[in-house]
Amino acid sequence: MSKAERRKKTKTERVLGLLKFQIALLIILIAAVAYYYVGGYASQVSDLKSEASSLVKQSSPETFRQTETSIVYDANGETISVLKGEKDVYYLTYNEIPAYVTQAIISIEDKKFYKHKGVDYKAIIRAAIAMVKNGEATQGGSTITQQLARTMYLSNEKTWQRKVEEIYIASELEERYSKEDILEFYLNNVYFANGYYGIQAAAKGYFSKDASELTLSEICYLLAIPNSPTYYDPVLNPDHTMKRRNIILGSMYKDKIISEQTYNNALAEEIVLNRPDSIKNNYVETYTYYCATRVLMEMDGFEFKTDFSTTNGRKSYEKQYAQSYDQWNRTLFTEGYRIYTSIDMNMQNQLQQTIDENLSEFQDLNDEGIYALQGAAVSIDNETGQVVAIVGGRTQDVSGYTLNRAFQSYRQPGSSIKPLLVYTPQLERGYTPDTIVFDQPIEDGPENSNGAYSGEITLRQAVMYSKNTIAWQLYEELTPQVGMKYLKNLGFSQLVEEDYGMAACLGGLTVGVSPLEMATGYATIENDGYMRNPGCITKITDADGNIIYEAKPEEIEIYEENATRNMTSMLESVITDGTAKGAALTDMPCAGKTGTTNSNRDGWFVGYTRYYTTSVWVGYDIPKKVPGLTGSSYPARIWQQYMENVHENKSSIDFLAPVEYIGTDDLESVPEEESVEGDDESEESDVVEEAPVPEETETYQVITETFDGTEVPEGAIPENATDIQITTTTE
C-alpha cells in the first residue's frame, strides 16, 4: 500500500471513529434525557425551581437582618447563656462596608462576581472535573451569590437537589437584587466563628473596633475565617487563619488591587486579638455549644469516628467533620433553640473555685497573659453518665473564650491509664486482686519510681503502689494491640499508630488524653463496664417548645462486670493504703488512681464514688517540671476537696462486690523503703526511662478542636499557637 493510500485510510478511520463517537454521545444524551423525564427528575427540578422562585419573591432586605435567639439552661432550668447573632445591631449597609472588604472577598472567592448572573458554570465544571480527578472536592464552584443562597435558605448537605435549588435561588437573587445588595447581604450574614455573623460583628468580637477601623491586614485575617470557621477559628487555630490571610493578600496583589508595598506592609503586620470581656460561663458555654452542635450533627446523620486505618482516612474524616460542625454550630445562633443541659452550676462553681484556690500560689503568666500553670477537671454523674461540671482552666479576667483544656487539650496520663488498658483487661482474663506477681528489674524495661523492687506481691499491691514493672509485664502478655482496643472502644480520639508500643502502658502516648476522656473511662469502670456518652445535652426544643431531641441513655459494654468490680476494689486500696493515701472522703467509699509523668510535668488524679466520677489534671500549657507536682499532690487535693463538698449530706453507699466473690489478701506490708504515705517523693513517675529503653525525644504538638496536629522540631514553636504541648514519645 502506497503512502497516499495509507494516509487516505487513516483519514477515513478518523472520520469513522469521530462519527461513531458522535453517535455514541447522541445515544447517551438521548438516554439521559429520557431517564431525566421517565425517572421523575424533570418534575423534581421543576418543583425546586418553583420553590426557589417563591422563596426569593417573598424576601425583602429585612429578610437578611432576621435572627432568632437560642437559650441554654442548666440542670435546674436556670439560664446559662443566650446565643444571639445580633445581626440587626451590627448590620452595615453597602456604603458602610470598607472597600477593601468587598475587594478582598471578590478576589479570593469570586473573581467573576460582576460578570456572572449568580452562577459560574465554568467554575462548576472545573470543580466537577477536579473532584473526579482527585476523588474529592478540591476546588470551589460556588459564587458569592450561591454562598448567600446556601447561608440564608439551605443546608450544606451534599445532594443534587440542594445544589440545583441553590443554583435556582442564586439566579433569582440576581434577578431581584443588585450586585451591591448581594454583597451587603452576604457580608452581613456570613459566619465568622464563635457566634459572630457579619463583618461588623467579627470586627467587634475579635478586635473590639468597627469594621471601618480595620487595617487591610486585619480585614484579610477576618475574611479568612468563613472559608472554614472551625479550621480557621482565630481563637483556636490562629496559625491557620494567618496562613489564609497571606493567601488573600497575595490574591489581591496578583489581581492588582493593592501595590507591592501595600502587600508587603500588610504581610508584615502583626495580628493581635482584642476581644471584649463579656463572657460569664466560659468553660460551661464552650462545652455546651460543642455538645449541642454534635447532637445536631448526629441527628443529621453524621457518624462520629475515632478509629482510622490510614492517615488519608483520618484527614478525609476531619474535613467532613469540620464542614458538618460549621454548618450546625452556626444554627445555634440563628434558629431559636432551647437547649437543656445536665450542668449543675452549683457543682460547676465549686469545681472552679477548688481549682483556683489550690493553684493560687502559681501566679506566673505566659506570653498571652494567661496563667502558665493550669488545671482542668471534669465531673460525671454516675447515675446518668452525663457531665455535671467541667472546668477548662483557672479563672482569669481575659477577653472572650479561652482554651477549654477539659476537652480540647490532650496530655500524657501517666499511671492513671493503667486501669483502663492493663489491669481491668487482665482481670477479664483470669487475674484477681490476690494473684501473685513478681516485682523485679526487667531487661529493656522500666524501673519503678524509687528504683526499688518488692519481689512477690499481690496484684492489689502492684496497683496500690503503681508498680511500673508489673504493668509492663501484664501489658506485654496482653499485647498492645489488645490493650489499645479498649481505649479505642472508650472513644479516646487521639490514638495514633505510634502508640501501639509498650510505653503506652505507663502513659507514654504520642498526643495523649483529655480529662473528659479519662473521666469517661473511670465512669465506665464504676458502671460495671458499660460506657455512656459523656455529653451534657438532655433536651433541645425549637422556639415554640416542640421537642426536636431528647437524650436516651445508651450503654456500650467495654469491660466485664466482675473485672470492673475487682478493679474498683483495688482502686479503693490506692486511696486507703497506696499512692493516694490521705485523699479519702469522709464516710464515703471512694476509689481512684494517681498519675505523674516524667519530670513531674503532668499530675493526674481520677476517682469516683457511687455518685460521681471526677478527673483532675494539673500542669503547664507548655509542659515543664512543676516542683512538688505529683498525682497525689495538687490533683488529689483538688479532687478530695471538691468531692467532699458535693457529697455533703449524701448517704454513704458501698461499691458493689463481684458476683462471684474473690477473696481479698491481707495486704502484707512491702519492704519499708516501699511504704507510701502520699508524699511527693513516693509518688510514681510513669514514663519509661533509664535502663536500656530507647532515648526519649521531645516534639511540639499543636492540638485543635478538629484534631489537626502539626509537629515541628524542638524550639520551632508555631507562631501564634494557642495550645502547644510537649509530648514524649519513643522511637
Q: Cell match 482542668: residue?
A: 376
Write down the pLDDT at residue 209: 92
Write down the pLDDT at residue 335: 84
108 and 26, same domain (yes or no):
no
pLDDT above 60 (res 714): no
Across the chain, mean pLDDT equals 83
- Binning pLDDT at 50, 70 and 90, where does residue 727 land? very low
540 and 634, same domain (yes or no):
yes
- Domain end: 220, 251, 276, which one? 276
Write down the pLDDT at residue 667: 47
Q: Is 369 left (phi over 0), alpha (psi -120 to 50) or beta?
A: left
Nearest to 89 by CA among 183, 184, 196: 196
Domain presence at residue 325 = no
- Binning pLDDT at 50, 70 and 90, where does residue 695 land? very low
What sign results for the dihedral spanned by CA atoms 195, 198, 203, 204?
negative
567 and 645, same domain (yes or no):
yes
Q: What is the pLDDT of residues 352-367, one digit of tens each?
A: 999 999 999 999 988 8
Top pLDDT among 375 and 369 is at: 375
100 and 242, same domain (yes or no):
yes
Taking the C-alpha atoms of residue 399 and residue 370, their distance in angstroms, rounded to an integer, is 11
Is residue 143 packed enough to be buried (19+ CB in 10 Å), middle (13-18) or exposed (0-12)?
buried
Specify the CATH number for the domain of residue 353: 3.40.710.10
Specify whether the CB–CB gap between 714 and 699 falls below 8 A: yes
377 and 234, same domain (yes or no):
no
Domain presence at residue 287 = no
Write down the pLDDT at residue 724: 38
- Binning pLDDT at 50, 70 and 90, where does residue 339 land? very high
pTM exceeds cut of 0.85: no
C-alpha cell, 491 = 472513644
251 and 132, same domain (yes or no):
yes
603 and 470, same domain (yes or no):
yes
Write down the pLDDT at residue 25: 59
For residue 527, what are the domain limits? 345-690
Domain presence at residue 299 = no
Pairing of strands 530-532, 555-557: antiparallel
Any bridge partners for residue 71, and if so which? 82, 338
Write down the pLDDT at residue 683: 46
Specify the CATH number for the domain of residue 144: 1.10.3810.10
SS3 (DSSP) at 75 = coil
* Least trusted range by pLDDT, from 54-58, 426-430, 722-726: 722-726
Ranked by mean pLDDT, the top range of 126-135, 233-242, 580-589 is: 580-589
* Least trusted range by pLDDT, from 35-39, 56-60, 136-140, 571-575: 136-140
Taking the C-alpha atoms of residue 338 and residue 129, their distance in angstroms, rounded to an integer, is 43
Domain presence at residue 162 = yes
* Least trusted range by pLDDT, from 382-391, 419-428, 713-722: 713-722
Taking the C-alpha atoms of residue 387 and residue 88, their distance in angstroms, rounded to an integer, is 35
Specify whether the CB–CB gap between 279 and 401 falls below 8 A: yes
Domain presence at residue 19 = yes
Specify whether the CB–CB gap between 248 and 100 falls below 8 A: no
Task: Count how many domains the chain has.
Answer: 3
* Least trusted range by pLDDT, from 105-114, 117-126, 207-216, 219-228: 117-126
Q: Which residues contact 356 (CB under 8 A, 6 or more apart)?
A: 394, 395
8 and 102, same domain (yes or no):
no
Domain presence at residue 356 = yes
SS3 (DSSP) at 256 = coil
pLDDT above 90 (res 59): no
Q: DSSP class of residue 422?
A: I
What sign results for the dihedral spanned by CA atoms 307, 313, 319, 324?
negative
Top pLDDT among 543 and 690 is at: 543
- Binning pLDDT at 50, 70 and 90, where does residue 30 land? low
359 and 501, same domain (yes or no):
yes
Write down the pLDDT at residue 674: 41
**H/E segment holding residue 540:** strand 537-541
pLDDT above 70 (res 338): yes
442 and 369, same domain (yes or no):
yes
251 and 382, same domain (yes or no):
no
pLDDT above 60 (res 668): no
- Binning pLDDT at 50, 70 and 90, where does residue 13 land? low
pLDDT above 60 (res 314): yes
Write down the pLDDT at residue 138: 38
Write down the pLDDT at residue 45: 65
372 and 479, same domain (yes or no):
yes
Q: Taking the CB of residue 49, how many other CB atoms lie within 10 A of it?
A: 17
pLDDT above 60 (res 457): yes
Q: Cell match 519513643: residue?
A: 730
Domain presence at residue 56 = no
- The number of C-alpha atoms within 13 Å of 587 and in the hemisphere containing its C-beta is 7
Taking the C-alpha atoms of residue 373 and residue 99, their distance in angstroms, rounded to an integer, is 44
Q: What is the pLDDT of residues 395-442, one digit of tens each?
A: 987 666 678 999 999 999 999 999 999 999 999 999 999 999 999 999
- Domain end: 249, 276, 303, which one? 276
Q: What mean pLDDT is predicted for residues 560-567?
A: 98
pLDDT above 60 (res 531): yes
Q: What is the pLDDT of residues 468-499, one digit of tens each?
A: 999 999 999 999 999 999 999 999 999 999 99
Domain presence at residue 718 = no
Taking the C-alpha atoms of residue 436 and residue 665, their distance in angstroms, rounded to an integer, is 10
Top pLDDT among 117 and 589 is at: 589
- Domain end: 235, 252, 276, which one? 276
